[in-house]
Structure formats: structure tokens, C-alpha cells
Chains A and B, each alone.
Chain A
Amino acid sequence: MHSDTPSYKLTVSAVGVMADFAHLTVYNGFLEDIARGYEQLDLSLKPGLYSITLKLDGHIIKEHVRLTGDTQVQIPTPPVYSSVVADKFQSSHEYYARNARTYSLQPTVKNGPETGGAIFLFFRYTDVDNRRELNDTQQSLGQGFSLLDAQRHVLFRLEGKHIKEDTDAGWMAFHAVLSPGTYYLHYSGLPGTMEDDAPHELPAREIPLQVFRSGVQSSVTAGQYWQTQVFLTFGQGPIFPSMSIFIAPREQGFVNDDEGNYRIDGLRHKFHNGVYILPEKVLMEFEQGQWASPMKGLLAAYVYFSNPAADKEQLFRNVTQYLPALLGEDTPDVKALQIMSAQYYRDPIPALSLSEPCMFLAGIRAIIRASIRNPDVIVDDSQLEDITDKLYNDMVWTSYQPAPLPEPAETKKAVPQTRSSMTSSIFSVVEKIIGKEKTAEEIGERLLKSQTVSTLLYYIEKLDRDLDVNDLANRLQIPPSVVRKTVQHILKFSDSIKDAEKKPEQFSIRNINKLKKIH
């Protein structure tokens, strides 16, 4: 076969920041989608009319092409907004970037240890005008935030001498040198305010942050201490889904023109939206053994194991083997990735257990999935178990509705012990759910406000067959151990109110009998 019609080269490329993540589609003149991919497409096409669409970060750019010869089309990427104050992002400003750089190198917490890893937090508005509009009283951005240790003891409140801030420009920095381990960034929430004529409330939230140990087993990172860098943008309050987290050598601090940070942020953004793209440049870096950025490795591995259609098996087996050496094999995210990897390759779940949450929500989900058949994966009564039914799902990072911070000693003394004898008997088992309610009816109503309790009771009422803990765990997306404990709590509560005149209808004899039969 021979065609007299010539073919021409059409090269379509996205240029500019985040070009790796710009999705390109080429349509032929008959509106048929003929090619799609990221960053650049090289095509050989017959003469004709074509259309190109570039999509990035919610922006859509369309261009038409009349192809009558070899043609290159370069489409500049639209402005990109991010929490990280990197130079090429539209929302970065010199007055933020400069201070982020300065305080990532200089601890704001004085008299702390000199050696170790570090946590660096940088909170800011999108720009100073935004601060003036949204926070005219110049409230500190650290308000309501605390950093807790692994036992959830308050190490620092983000206020006063522990932070540096400019409430006029609208930024706050916190930097503490810390020993490796798990820490929690606790936010106590914002009571209801009016926003766009609608009540706006920011619930309390806690985010586990890991300080990674120095890479003593890795020749690349020997002698380095890692700094965990957290960037967060504010609107009416903290916009948690915008949170960017990086891991950089502590001595290096935050580098505001690090090309790698754009790729990490792009990966995170796509991952957040369920798009599992790994740009060729990232894969090439891994193939060449470039491991300068542990966060890129973590994120890429999570992205890879979330994509059922991925095809770089050996490369990612290598990545998961290398990460323990880089970040420590006891690190929750490293363990979570080992579980996720086993689930992905349909290998047996490795014999390991976790008591603390990992930083990535995808890791927590993998651990919960694994716990249905391997309950020992989650340590009984651990912090990890406790949060599994309180997870928020609005960002790639693990976050959850936290228990209140421990009250100062003088406040504790003031709490009146006035609960009735009936309610005091059940107080210990439901204290994490109920508040100041006193009557059985009040406590029952409060108990039902727990999403886990109310949804569990809904299933109990509606499911018309033998109830199985694993089935309920799967429906509620929580570990079987948490289902069992919740059932025990409900049964104890129900028992304590059996003589009460009024109780919520969900606690009917039929439902309670069904609960007792759960196996």
C-alpha cells in the first residue's frame, strides 16, 4: 500500500512550571481523540485541521492547528498556585519565600538540642492583600496549633517565643530540632463563623509528622539529618488540603528554586485527585539511582502502588527496598508501603505491626485493609487503632478528628464530678465519644452522633443475615478490632440504660440482640 498524501510532524509541548503534569490531548478534524499524554506529544499526521487541549490544575487551554508542514506547538502552562513558596508558583512572593528560607535554616525554638532532625512549619496567606481582607485584626497564624510528641504531650504551642511571624504580611514560621520519631501537629479548630452567608466551621484536626532518622545506612545521606518541611496556606482558616510536605537535608533547609519540589508538589496534587501519573523525569531519576529526595520516593511509591495499571515492577520493588535504608525501617510510612506493595503484588502481608500512624492517608487505608485478614498489623489500643474511625479524607496526608489536648492541671481540678450513678458506670467506655451529657437519652443521642456508631447501628438494623465483623469492618473501613470495641461499647451502654424510660430507638432489643450475635 502506498499513500501519496504526505505526513508531517506535529510536536505539541507544554512549557513552563509543572509542564510535566500538563495533560495534552490532540483531536483530529473529525473531533476524534487521536493522542493524549503528559508534557509532550510527537506525532506524524496527515495534513488537516487539529485541535489541542492542555489541562493543568483546573485550567483548560485550547488551540487549533492547520497542519500543512512540520509544526511545533508550544503551550505555556497556566499560573499554578501552591502552599510551597517556590519561585515559579504564582502564589509565591519574595516576602514569604525569603522568610521561609531564613527560618528553615534557623530554629525558632531556642535552647533545644543542636543535633537531630527537625520540623519546619511555614504558614501564610496567598498574599498580603488576602491577609488584609481575611484577617484584619492580624491574628497569629499559629493560633490553635500545637506540636505534640508521640505520646500526645504538648511540646510546643505555636505562639510567642516559639515562632517567628509577621502578622501584617501574613506568615508564621516554626522550626524545632527534634529527635527522630512521630510527632503530631494538632489544630484545635475554629468555632462557627459566617462565610458567604453560610455558617463556616473548621473542625479540630491532627496530622502526624515524622522526623526521619539520619540515613546511617545510606552512603548518599550518611551524616545528614532530615528536616520535615510543612507549608500551609490560610483562607478563612487553615486550608489543610493545600498542605505540602517535603523532606530535605536539615543543613540545606528550604530551597525556593529546587526543581524537585515542583515535581513533588505536582505528584501530590495529581495523587490528591486520584490521578496516578509518574512523570518520565521522576522515573528516570529513580532508574539512575538518584535518591536525593526521600519525599519524592515515598510519594512516587504511594502513587505507583495506587495505580492498578502500573508497569514498572522491578523499579518499584527497588524503591521499596531502598526506602527503609534511607528513612529507617521502623518508620510507619516505610512499613505501610511494605504492606501496600504486598497487596499490589498479591504477596503475603509481611509480619509487621504498627502502633503509630503514617503520614500518607493511602498508607493508613492499606493498613486498615490489611487488618481485616491480619489483625495483628495494628497494635491493640494504640494511637493508630484509635484514629482509624476518625479519619478525614480530604488530603493525601493522614489527618483525623483528635481527642482534645490534655487540660492543664488547674482546669482538671475544676471539672465537677456530677454524673449520675447510671451514667458513671458507662462513662469509662464511651468517654471518648460523649461530652457533658447526663441522661441516658442525652448520652444515647450523643453516641449516635459518632459516625461509626450510627452507621454501625444502621447496618445492624438493615442487614438481614448473620453479621460478620469483617464484613462490617469492610463497610465501615475500619479495623475489625475497632468494630468489636465499638460493639462492646454499645452493648455496655445499652445494658446500663435497660431500665431507662426513654432511649433512642436505635438501641432496640432487636438491634441489641443482633449485636450480641456478631461473630
Chain B
Amino acid sequence: MSPHTLVSETPVTPATVLCEEAINENLLKGLPVNDEDYAIIVGVSHYASLAPLHAPITDACRLRNWLIKADGGNMHPKHVFFIPSAPGSNAPDQLAIDKALYDILQMAEARPARRLYFYFSGHGFGANWEVNGMCLPIWSPSFYNAALSSKAYLDLLVEQDRFQEIYFFLDCCRDRKINTKPLHSMLGSPQAGGANTMAVVLYASEYENPAWEGMMNANGNLQVHGYFSRALMEALNGGAVNNNGDITITSFIDYVREKTESYAHERNHTQTVRSDIRNNKHGLNHVIHRTGRIPGTVLTITFETAGDITLDGPDLNNIKAGPVQAGETWLVPLGKGYHQITNKTTRTSAFITIDGTLKTMHYAF
């Protein structure tokens, strides 16, 4: 059976660039870091038999760097295990990933652990709706099961009860492959337990559906990203911030879902993020990351038609009103949320969504 898990739009050489070392400024200054947090970040762009992917290493690198940066995850670099693939190599294999997990579990046993991030970007398949295969570089029709079982790994991590929170992000396809049995960790099979660990799981797509990567513009630079990973990074970089300056579970999931769908839709694809949450004793407003920044955008509105205009905010407060001529522009700073612009003369109206990720935006009305 030919694998149908490669969904790359861009025929360029897979990422071979090294991920630049990230620095935690707080560590240099002797300030506190989140040394109770850990991460395994796996990016597999190179496959022995499958088509190369272009985004996984880049995306994995971005997440790694965010986790380490002081104004990001503020983690100790030694707690972030970055596991990229390399051209012409079958690395990483299961052992490499299990070894990283083992090291983390050892560290987490020595002192209290708060959080574990697990991220995988690469080829994948849906063995069934709850088991995703994360394909290792060696995967081929002859090594049909050379993929890690998302469920077995998640179950194993949760049942350890070693972490308070686990964030499990999978940016890979979930096209179904029948009669597959992705691999369990060599560290053991899940046992009873795990009632104390909250797990937030985000799959890049629904079961039986592909996850896509494509060329995207990031601050003027064209680069290939997974739509899901791009949304994930934007969410962490402030897109998912609520009006208190916090990223909560719900604001995070909503943002990633909405943006992934939107990126896919812009390119005539459908991709719907699937989330599952286990053991959430904190509620959906539990804060994942505090930024202290209130999101906003300076919007330039260009009027194509003259008329008497009103611009209302999320709670219907009037932000600006007055007559305009065709070609005239308004420059308005807006907070995150829905806004409604109405031309009372022509009786036309539109909703404008400010998601807080862009500093400036243009809108034609």
C-alpha cells in the first residue's frame, strides 16, 4: 500500500539547516527559570522511503526556541530534548526518543516536575481514532509498524503521575492505515494510574484526515510550516492571549483550531484540529502562559464607498463614527475581538475579526 501521509505543497529540499542554539536570558542573569518543566521536541523531515517533508525541523526548532526563551516557556535548555532527523540517516529511532524520555523521567523523579511538552512533527497515520502512528525515518511498507503509538506514549506518560500537566502536540497526518500496530515505548506499557496528571492533547487534524504543510509568510520571510505548528507558535507568541494577557487552555485551543482551519481554508484544504483533555481539575480557564500583554492591532480601513460610517466594538461601544469619502482611510487601534463596521448610507455592514497576532492590518470596506 502506498503511504498517503505526505502532504507537502512545496517541492524544495527538506530543511537541513541547524536549529540555532536558543538562550534563556534569565539563566544568564541568574533570574528564576521554569526548571520544573521538560520537553521532547521531535521533528522528522527525512525518511528512507517516504517523501521528504519541509516543515518539521523548522517548526520543531521554533517551538524549542520558544520554550527556552525567557519570555516564552522560560525553560532550562538542558530540559528541552530536541530530536531532529538528518539527511541520509535513519535517526532518530525509537531508542533515541525513549532515551530522552527516560532521562526526563529520571530528572522528574529527582525533584518535583510541573509540566512536560511532547511535540512530534513528521509523517503519520491514524491506526484508529485514538491511536496515531508517528512515523520514524525508517518507516516503509516493509517496516509497516515503524511508528510510535501516540496513545501508548501518552498513556505511559500520564500513568507515571510524574507531571502535573502534559501538553501533547502532534503535527502529522491521521489518514487511516488499516491493520497497523504502532509501537509502544520500550520504557514499559501503560499501567493503572495517572489520575493526577492533566493532559492536553492536540492533533493537527481529525482522524482519517491529512495535516498539511505549505509555504507561508512569516514577518516577510517565506518559509514552509505545518499549518498546525504555525498556529501553535502564533498562539504561544500571543495570538491566544485573552484580554487579561493570559493564554488559557480554552483560548489556546480555540486559537490553534481557528487559525489552523483558516490557514488550510486559504489554500483550499480542510484541516480541523482535534483536542482531548484528560483529568482537567483546573477548568478550561487554567492559565498555560502569562504574557502580561494586552493584544491589539492598528487597523487601517480604506473606504471604497462614501457614506456615514460607524465602527462598533465587541460590546457594541462605538469606537469611531462619521462621514467618509471614497478612498478615505481611518487608522484605528483595536483590541482583540469582533468589530462591526456599518455604512448607514448604503445599509451595508461587515464584521472584522482582530485576533491580536498582527501589529498592523489593512481592511477594505
Contacts and interface: CB of A to CB of B under 8 A. Distances in A.
A241 B180 CA distance: 16
A32 B207 contact: no
Given A29-B313, A31-B355, A393 B176 contact: yes
A29 B316 CA distance: 9
A310 interface: no
Interface string A32-70: 110000000000001111110001001010001010100
B1 A201 contact: yes
Nearest to B240: A31
B130 A274 contact: yes
Interface in A444-483: 451-452, 454-455, 458-459, 462-464, 471, 474-477
A49 B338 contact: yes
Contact of B242 (A30, A48, A55, A454): A30
Contact of A49 (B2, B129, B270, B351): B351
Contacts of A201: 1
Looking at chain B's contact residues, is the secondary structure mostly helix, strand, loop, or mixed? loop
Interface string B336-365: 111110000000000101010000000000
A209 interface: no
B186 A464 contact: yes
Interface in B206-264: 206-208, 242-243, 250-251, 254-255, 261
Interface in B159-200: 176, 178-181, 183-184, 186, 188-189
A66 B315 contact: no
Interface string A13-37: 0000000000000011111110000
Given A198-B4, A462-B94, A394 B176 contact: yes
Given A32-B251, A46-B315, A393 B128 contact: yes
Contacts of A393: 127-128, 131, 176, 178-180
Contacts of B95: 462
A49 B242 contact: no
A394 B250 contact: no
Contact of A64 (B152, B183, B207, B338): B338
A30 B181 contact: no
A50 B186 CA distance: 49
Contact of A47 (B4, B94, B183, B315): B315
A464 B176 CA distance: 31
Looking at chain A's contact residues, is the secondary structure mostly helix, strand, loop, or mixed? mixed
Contacts of B314: 28-30, 48-49
B38 to A, nearest CB: 23
Contacts of A273: 129, 206-208
Contacts of B189: 471, 474-475
A408 interface: no
Interface string B85-97: 0000000001100
Contacts of B128: 393-394
Nearest to B354: A31
B2 A30 contact: no
Contacts of B131: 393
B4 A272 contact: no
Contacts of A474: 184, 189
A92 to B, nearest CB: 23
A191 interface: no
Interface residues of B, number: 49
A29 B353 CA distance: 9
Contact of B353 (A31, A272, A451): A31
B144 interface: yes
Nearest to B353: A31
Nearest to B258: A31
A46 B243 CA distance: 17
Nearest to B285: A32
Interface residues of A, number: 47
B36 interface: no
A391 interface: yes
A392 interface: yes
Contacts, number: 120
B178 A203 contact: yes
A459 to B, nearest CB: 8
Contacts of A66: 316, 340
A341 interface: no
A162 interface: no
Contacts of B127: 393
Contact of B145 (A32, A48, A392, A455): A455
Contacts of A241: 176, 208
Contact of A274 (B129, B178, B261, B340): B129
B312 interface: yes
Contact of B186 (A30, A31, A47, A463): A463
Interface string A242-277: 000000000000000000000000000000111000
Contacts of B242: 30, 32
Interface string B79-122: 00000000000000011000000000000000000000000000
B337 A30 contact: yes
B183 A451 contact: no
A462 B339 CA distance: 58
A30 B334 CA distance: 11
Given A29-B338, A30-B243, A49-B312, A451 B180 contact: yes
Given A29-B315, A272-B129, A474-B189, A199 B351 contact: no
Interface of A: 27-33, 46-51, 55, 58, 60, 64, 66, 68, 198-199, 201, 203, 241, 272-274, 390-394, 401, 451-452, 454-455, 458-459, 462-464, 471, 474-477
7 contacts: A51-B338, A58-B270, A60-B272, A64-B351, A393-B178, A451-B181, A454-B145
Interface of B: 1-2, 4, 94-95, 127-131, 144-145, 152, 176, 178-181, 183-184, 186, 188-189, 206-208, 242-243, 250-251, 254-255, 261, 270, 272, 312-316, 335-340, 351, 353, 355
Given A272-B129, A455-B145, A471-B188, 20 more contacts: A27-B254, A32-B242, A46-B315, A47-B315, A49-B312, A49-B313, A49-B340, A60-B272, A64-B340, A64-B351, A198-B4, A241-B208, A393-B128, A394-B176, A454-B145, A459-B183, A462-B94, A464-B186, A475-B184, A476-B181
The 9 closest A-B pairs by CB, nearest first: A29-B314, A274-B129, A393-B128, A392-B178, A49-B338, A64-B351, A475-B184, A30-B337, A48-B315
